A and B are shown apart, each in its own frame.
Chain A
Amino acid sequence: MVAGRLLIGALVLGGTLSLAHGAWIPAKAALAQVLLDHAWQETLRSGDFAKPWPWADTWPVARLIVPSHKKSMVVLAGADGAALAFGPGHLTTSAPPGASDNSVIAGHRDTHFAFLGSLKPGDTLQLQARDGVLHDYRVTQTRVVHETDTSVLEFGQDPMLTLITCYPFAALVPGGPLRYVVHARGISSHKTQRKKT
């Protein structure tokens, strides 16, 4: 009976840990945005990039605003796993946010970029660059591509914003080969009031 109790104990422990870990991922994603927001305000104020916490290997590079979904999130430098856990990541190989070229941002399909599936052509996206300038984009197309279809990273001659997340949205196991891509075209840019912290 000792073995049975041990087994049950192990199951309870394992189950709790797994559950906690699963719950921690979205919690971390939400919490990090609060810290990132401070760093972003600092960046807007000083004009220099600021690290959200001293040992961070990434820093905020833009703010993505989705008026239709009342969403606003801080975008980090780099789209590697470490950065994506805290916020959407800007692909460093793509154009800097706000440039007259294709800026690409990737985010987790189950946290920050879960809303991507409900974006429609015509929706407005806003990207605030480091200099405080707010760039408006209009969604032109949404599509599903294979992960090797790097044409979505193509450089262009006009301001463009490309958002990428994994597809399908509800898949249980991560790491599938498909990506959901939202293309948006720049429509205008305007200076905003720099927020004081």
Chain B
Amino acid sequence: MRLGFRLAVLWGVGVLVSIFSAGAYAASAAALGQPMQLKEAKAGTLLVRGDDDLVLRAAPMLGTDVEINVTGLIARTVVTQYFHNPTDAWLEGIYVFPLPQNAAVDTLEVRIGERVIVGEIKERQEARKIYEKAKAEGKKAALLEQERPNIFTTSVAGIHPQGTVGVRIEYQRELDYRDGVFSLRFPMVVAPRYIPGDPIASASSRHVALDTDQVPDGSRISPPVADPAGRVINPVSLRVSLNAGVAVRTKSTSHVIEVSEKSDGVLEITPAQGAVPADRDFVLSWRPALGEAPKAALFTEVFKGEEYALLMVMPPDAAAAPAPAPNREVIFVLDTSGSMSGTSFHEARSALRMALRRLSPADTFNVIAFSSSARQLFRRALPATPENIAKAISNIEGLEAKGGTEMLSALTLALRSPPSSERVRQVVFITDGAVGNESALFDYISLRIGKSRLFTIGIGSAPNAYFMKRAARAGRGTFTYIGTPEDVHEKMSGLFAYLERPMLTDIRLHWPGRVDETYPAPIPDLYAGEPLVVVLRAKDLGGQVSITGLRSGEPWQQNVSLENGTARAGVARLYARRKIESFRLNLSRLQEDLGYEEGRKQFRDKIIETGLRYHLVTRYTSLVAVEKESSRPHDAPLKAWPVPTHLPAGWKLEKIWLEKPAMESEAATAGFISVEKTSIQFEKKNATDGKRLAERRWKLEERKPNALQRQIASAQPLVAAHLPRTATPALLFVLTGLLLLMTAVFLRWRVRTQW
């Protein structure tokens, strides 16, 4: 429901394991497996040291096998989670894990020995009932639910004593393709929910709050945290099969990888160390050999009698046919209302100064400042000559933040006349977004945006992100958040580097006859290096699609053949996933039209219908697998166990607030402790490689927002750095006042008695 370009959130969600609140489950050391050597350990086995040190034992733990098959533009991933039970009790495991945002999960299988139970798609509540019933009857059952678009939960009931249960899920996703580089990411780790430019750690505090409560269900609790002293828990064995031609160059920024070539030209990539701890995401990127980078690709699938296609078109490269950077008309709008006063205004001004200095002389610009009324610096946009910029900067210095927030008049000034035909107008709106008449503003923007693009920049600790993201979406631009003064430079550089690139705007697709639905809609602008990716449903695919747009203001057209697509399973589900995404984008409009309750109901019904039709896990549909016969004796109780999660690489368990989570080592000797919801604070290790690596990865992500993912990730929330301060010094003042008065009375009395 929320929007903004927050691709990196994909990374910020980690593996979480939670337990059923059945109370403390005492697993004595005797219940642990036989001593074993590290090299004997298979995936799904946890090795812990007992009291008798040095000897490693198997403990209740899970491992994960990951296989990723890449063909064309689609990565099909098979994740097998092993739930192993070395005790003499029947167990239930609940495992919360991240998947890439927008992963289309369509398969759930439970493997017990030779038997396989296949999951079916059901409406969420119904699936939950089926699972609970099977659990009560002592049957083996598994349930796969979506908690967030990128967080899923697997519950497995009836893991027999000394047994292992494998839960296999499958999903697919389009690859990220930008600047001629393909990349994929497999998320594995519990990490602070990082949102670019929105650090959870404030400048004044070295402490970082780690959000460990990803599960909205209150009956589930946070997992204990594993000792970072080096034991590997939840080992992940990972293999990528890359069918992308021979001469690709592969690279991983997260792991040292080993690449081997199979006979049929398929590259097999694994982490060089074998099974890896789930403490960082796996990132793989590859670049096709020169001249072999795909210019257009079409994948098709026939699903339930209908044709689906995934079309990728790479617009002519900037290098191949150098397009000049667009001639731009940049209108800066600065909020100078009272709510901006203080640090916010200081930040806003420095952001604006920086933006002005980056303009090229070929650009034209103007500055609009508004509070109770709006005023502009120049009568019309002027060339960005050094003199004009100097004039603008000196004027900005004189501005003060006071008065009301009449945003509409500022927007009217910015958008009232259409931009000149040879220029791209970019409106850069710097504000904290504290406005009341939101819907009027959205309406105005949608109506008047035309060929202009609106980029909103949120300033201060608590900007109205809800408003600004929606405004940027209506204005077909992006939203940038600047939280602290330190962010200004980096954020503004990033945004402007992006805005300065040549781009393709006003993209329209002209389909031959029988294509009935395409996503995304409308097509977002493309910046240099970004491909156009569209999924569609057709009655009878063929002919060619004509793509038109404006490239640096010039009309541009390309025809792409829709014949001879490569058949590829999974295209229909990618389409379905995009369709569901579009429901979400339109929810608020639906609710405005139909009313709150009715809108929500329709939204839900549409998602359920799509989920059931395409066999997809969505927020309202789950996969549930139940064995036919009960295997657990009726008198044997079902217990649950907590599984420790791994700390992200580079983080140190230093200080735990409120309650200490059960350390994994204690758990092994003294039994697992049921932990209430805890809030855990971690102190950053000074200058550890892990952290630097993580930061570098963030920056990398930020610089490369993919147009599609920007739209999708925009659903992510923006989180403030602190909860608000909510106490007054009233009592303090009253008591101080009383104290002073009493002192006065006392002194007066002393003076009297002395006389």
Q: A-side interface residues toward B, CB under 8 Å? A: 1, 4, 7-8, 11-12, 14-23, 25-26, 29, 48-49, 57-59, 61, 77-81, 84-85, 89, 91-96, 98-101, 106-111, 113, 133, 140-141, 143-158, 164-166, 171-176, 179, 189
Is B638 among interface residues, defined by CB-CB distance under 8 A?
no
Is B434 among interface residues, defined by CB-CB distance under 8 A?
yes
Interface string of B346-389 (1 = CB under 8 A from A): 00000000000000000000000000000000000000000000
What would 15 more interface pairs be, CB under 8 Å, given A61-B436, A98-B596, A153-B720? A7-B747, A8-B751, A11-B747, A18-B740, A20-B737, A49-B436, A78-B339, A92-B467, A107-B726, A113-B726, A146-B658, A148-B207, A153-B723, A166-B726, A166-B727
Cross-chain contact B723 with A106 (CB below 8 angstroms): yes
Cross-chain contact A150 with B462 (CB below 8 angstroms): no
- The answer, among A95, A148, A173, for a CB contact under 8 Å with B200, is A148
A147/B747 contact (C-beta < 8 A), A11-B741, A20-B737, A101-B1 known: no
Q: Can you give 14 contacting A-B residue pairs, CB < 8 Å?
A: A11-B741, A17-B737, A20-B737, A25-B730, A29-B728, A94-B466, A95-B1, A95-B466, A146-B657, A148-B202, A150-B211, A175-B725, A176-B727, A189-B597
Chain B residues with Cβ below 8 Å from A93 are 462-466, 718-720
Is B398 among interface residues, defined by CB-CB distance under 8 A?
no
Chain B residues with Cβ below 8 Å from A14 are 737, 740
Give Cα A84 to B439, complex, Å: 25
Cross-chain contact A147 with B723 (CB below 8 angstroms): yes
Give Cα A173 to B728, complex, Å: 8
Most chain A CB within a 10 A radius of its CB, from B202, B207, B462: B462
Chain B nearest CB from A71 CB (Å) reads 16
Give Cα A164 to B722, complex, Å: 12
Is B394 among interface residues, defined by CB-CB distance under 8 A?
no
- The answer, among B1, B433, B596, B727, for a CB contact under 8 Å with A174, is B727
Is B71 among interface residues, defined by CB-CB distance under 8 A?
no
A110/B728 contact (C-beta < 8 A), A4-B751, A77-B436 known: yes
Chain B residues with Cβ below 8 Å from A100 are 1, 596, 600
- The answer, among A17, A49, A91, A156, for a CB contact under 8 Å with B720, is A91
Most chain A CB within a 10 A radius of its CB, from B337, B718, B740: B740
Give Cα A42 to B735, complex, Å: 39
Chain A nearest CB from B683 CB (Å) reads 12
Interface string of B439-463 (1 = CB under 8 A from A): 0000000000000000000000011
- The answer, among B1, B437, B679, B733, for a CB contact under 8 Å with A18, is B733
Is B731 among interface residues, defined by CB-CB distance under 8 A?
yes
Is B38 among interface residues, defined by CB-CB distance under 8 A?
no
Chain A residues with Cβ below 8 Å from B723 are 106, 145, 147-150, 152-153, 164, 179
A166/B725 contact (C-beta < 8 A), A140-B218, A148-B681, A172-B731 known: yes
Cross-chain contact A11 with B728 (CB below 8 angstroms): no
- The answer, among A26, A99, A146, for a CB contact under 8 Å with B679, is A146
A111/B679 contact (C-beta < 8 A), A78-B462, A80-B462, A148-B200 known: no
Chain B residues with Cβ below 8 Å from A19 are 733-734, 737-738, 741
Chain B nearest CB from A123 CB (Å) reads 16
Cross-chain contact A110 with B727 (CB below 8 angstroms): yes
Q: Which positions 578-610 of chain B face chain A at CB distance < 8 Å? A: 596-597, 600
Smallest CB gap from A25: residue in B = B730
Give Cα A109 to B724, complex, Å: 12
Chain B nearest CB from A99 CB (Å) reads 8
Cross-chain contact A150 with B209 (CB below 8 angstroms): yes
Chain B residues with Cβ below 8 Å from A113 are 726
Cross-chain contact B727 with A147 (CB below 8 angstroms): no
Is B619 among interface residues, defined by CB-CB distance under 8 A?
yes
Is B185 among interface residues, defined by CB-CB distance under 8 A?
no
Is B686 among interface residues, defined by CB-CB distance under 8 A?
no
Chain B residues with Cβ below 8 Å from A95 are 1, 466
6 pairs of A and B residues whose beta carbons are closest in the complex: A19-B737, A22-B733, A15-B740, A49-B436, A22-B734, A18-B737
Chain A residues with Cβ below 8 Å from B657 are 146
Most chain A CB within a 10 A radius of its CB, from B207, B462, B600, B730: B730
Cross-chain contact A133 with B596 (CB below 8 angstroms): yes
Cross-chain contact B726 with A108 (CB below 8 angstroms): yes
A154/B732 contact (C-beta < 8 A), A81-B725, A106-B726 known: no
Cross-chain contact B727 with A109 (CB below 8 angstroms): yes
Chain B nearest CB from A177 CB (Å) reads 9
Chain A nearest CB from B312 CB (Å) reads 31
Chain B residues with Cβ below 8 Å from A157 are 1, 148, 619
Is B288 among interface residues, defined by CB-CB distance under 8 A?
no
Chain B residues with Cβ below 8 Å from A189 are 596-597
Interface string of B144-173 (1 = CB under 8 A from A): 000010000000000000000000000000
Chain B nearest CB from A61 CB (Å) reads 8
Give Cα A143 to B434, complex, Å: 29
Give Cα A18 to B741, complex, Å: 10
Chain B nearest CB from A62 CB (Å) reads 12
Chain B residues with Cβ below 8 Å from A111 are 728, 730
Chain B residues with Cβ below 8 Å from A21 are 733, 737
Give Cα A167 to B434, complex, Å: 27
- The answer, among A4, A49, A84, A141, for a CB contact under 8 Å with B726, is A84
Cross-chain contact B208 with A148 (CB below 8 angstroms): yes
Interface string of B446-490 (1 = CB under 8 A from A): 000000000000000011111100000000000000000000000
A11/B724 contact (C-beta < 8 A), A92-B463, A148-B208 known: no
Give Cα A84 to B464, complex, Å: 17
Chain B residues with Cβ below 8 Å from A172 are 731-732, 735
Cross-chain contact A57 with B677 (CB below 8 angstroms): no
Chain A residues with Cβ below 8 Å from B740 are 11-12, 14-15, 18
Chain B residues with Cβ below 8 Å from A152 are 723
Is B391 among interface residues, defined by CB-CB distance under 8 A?
no
Give Cα A97 to B737, complex, Å: 39
